[in-house]
């Protein structure tokens, strides 16, 4: 689907409103990406102050969600959009909800980073959490990039990546359970690691959701509950 499909209106003002909505989503996405990157860095660097700082800035993401949502409501009320324009606004509303939840998970990781910083830092600096974190960061970035270009094929690749995130989370969870059983003194640390991994896994789910909204926007079909094989046919079809 070409982006021009959303730009052919008699009203120049309407064109500007729709474009502004898309740009605001990407601006919010950029803020979310920055918070997520900082939260992950706080864990690997053992930086309590950094973790608390990113956790304390979650309100900025919340404010952006409210602002964009209000703008969507105004456009719906004043323009009565139809067809592709209506899908765009629906996709925007859904996308900012998932972005806000990614922000919540980044906030949670920030607090966990602060907890972990007060404990003995492992020699590998939580390398497996870092690997999982980099994976979900890529998913979020690629989902937003697919949204910006209305690229359903790239969005499908993000959906496919979620399986690898789930596998990485399962591996970290098994290791945490094993370490806690071997040495009960490490329970607190490995519980925090497990919760951080869980937050990252949820971020992967939210990135997947955003990618599915892109496919909905392009193809006009809600694909959230399709099997991957069905989804591939939908995008390729």
SS3 content of the chain, % helix, strand, coil (to 5): 85, 0, 15
Are 18 and 71 contacting, i.e. CB atoms less than 8 angstroms apart?
Answer: no
Cα torsion angle, 173, 177, 182, 186, sign: positive
Q: What average pLDDT does range 154-183 have in this prediction? A: 94
Q: 234 pLDDT exceeds 80?
A: no
What pLDDT is stored for residue 2 in this prediction?
Answer: 43
The more confidently predicted of residues 226 and 85 is 85
Residue 192 pLDDT > 50 = yes
* Token pair recorded at residue 121: 């830092």
Give residue 8's pLDDT.
Answer: 54
For position 158, what pLDDT does the model report? 96
Query: What pTM was computed for the model?
Result: 0.90
Lowest mean pLDDT among 45-49, 141-145, 193-197, 233-237: 233-237
- Report the b/e string of 175-210 with b at 16+ CB within 10 A: ebeeebeeeeebeebbebbbbbbbbbbbbbbbbbbb
User: Average pLDDT in the 9-28 region?
Assistant: 86
Residue-wise pLDDT for 102-130, tens only, equals 999 999 999 999 999 988 777 776 889 99
The region, left, alpha or beta by phi > 0 then psi within -120 to 50, assigned to residue 46 is left
The CA distance from 81 to 85, in Å, is 6
What are the residue ranges spanned by the domains of the chain?
3-236
pLDDT of residue 7 exceeding 90, the answer is no
**So what's the architecture of 3-236 in CATH?**
Up-down Bundle (1.20)
Higher-confidence position of 230 and 94: 94
| Cα three-residue angle 110-114-116, rounded to 5 degrees | 110
What integer pLDDT is reported at residue 51 of this predicted model?
Answer: 96
Q: What pLDDT does 126 receive?
A: 84
- Is the per-residue pLDDT at 225 higher than 80? no
Q: What per-residue confidence (pLDDT) applies to 4?
A: 46
Q: Determine contact, residues 109/12, Cβ cutoff 8 Å.
A: no
> What pLDDT does 224 receive?
74
- DSSP string for residues in 65-80: HHHHHHHHHHHHHHH-
- How sure is the predictor about 1, in pLDDT bands with cuts at 50, 70 and 90? very low
Question: pLDDT value at position 81?
Answer: 85
Q: Provide the mean pLDDT of the chain.
A: 90
In the block, residue with structure tokens 């600096």? 125
Alpha carbon 140 to its chain centroid, in Å, reads 5
Per residue in 28-38, pLDDT (tens digit) is: 999 999 999 99
If you average pLDDT over residues 152-178, what whole number do you get? Answer: 94
């Amino acid at each position: 689907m070409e982006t021009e499909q959303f730009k052919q209106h008699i009203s120049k003002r309407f064109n500007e409103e729709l474009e502004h909505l898309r740009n605001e989503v990407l601006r919010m996405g950029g803020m979310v990406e920055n918070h997520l990157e900082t939260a992950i860095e706080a864990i690997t660097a053992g930086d309590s102050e950094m973790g608390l700082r990113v956790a304390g800035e979650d309100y900025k993401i919340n404010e952006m969600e409210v602002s964009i949502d209000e703008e969507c409501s105004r456009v719906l009320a004043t323009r009565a959009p139809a067809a592709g324009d209506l899908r765009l606004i629906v996709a925007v509303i859904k996308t900012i909800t998932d972005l806000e939840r990614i922000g919540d998970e980044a906030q949670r990781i920030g607090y966990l980073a602060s907890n972990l910083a007060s404990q003995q830092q492992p020699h590998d600096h939580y390398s497996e959490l870092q690997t999982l974190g980099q994976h979900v960061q890529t998913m979020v970035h690629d989902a937003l990039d697919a949204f910006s270009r209305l690229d359903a094929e790239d969005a499908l690749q993000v959906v496919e990546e979620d399986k690898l995130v789930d596998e990485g989370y399962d591996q970290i969870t098994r290791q945490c359970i094993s370490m806690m059983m071997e040495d009960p003194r490490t329970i607190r640390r490995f519980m925090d690691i497990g919760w951080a991994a869980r937050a990252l896994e949820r971020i992967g789910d939210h990135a997947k959701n955003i990618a599915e909204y892109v496919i909905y926007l392009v193809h006009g079909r809600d694909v959230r509950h399709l099997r991957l094989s069905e989804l591939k046919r939908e995008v390729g079809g």
